[in-house]
Amino acid sequence: MKIAIANDHAAVELKNKIMEYVKELGHEVINYGTDSLESCNYPEFGEKAARAVAGKEADCGILICGTGVGISIAANKVKGIRAAVCSEPVTARLVKEHNNANIIAFGARIVGEETAREIVKAYLEAVFLGGRHKMRVDMIAQMEERF
């Protein structure tokens, strides 16, 4: 699987560790984030990764900023993106199973490396359940068409 990853200055160190972990799990990583600790604007990086996922250049994405919130809000502005902030692995599994989230996000200032690894693993191993959940995801896609 190809996984887009993006981050801001607050998450360079954690991004690098998560990139290595994702590779250890056997996936390809495409880095759309910054490698600099100099202050930068997370919306730019969130949009790059989201556009890669929406454009099928990547199968899914992982976004990391200070809290995971700002970068996920930016990503969710891209049509077709369902980015969800996860601070623990149960939510990461459920956003894939129930919401077919194509991007997860978390905060480098919120979760440590071990929890981040657990979140990523839970998300990548989860499978969308479809059924009643598909109907709801389709409703969200229809909302995008109205705006």
Catalytic residues: 65, 98
Nearest-angstrom CA–CA distance, 72 and 129 = 23
Residue ranges in 11-131 assigned as alpha helix (H) = 12-24, 42-54, 69-75, 89-99, 113-125
- The residue assigned the tokens 């049509």 is 79
| 121 within 8 A of 96, measured Cβ to Cβ | no
∠ Cα 97 102 103 (to 5°): 110
- Chain mean position to CA 129: 19
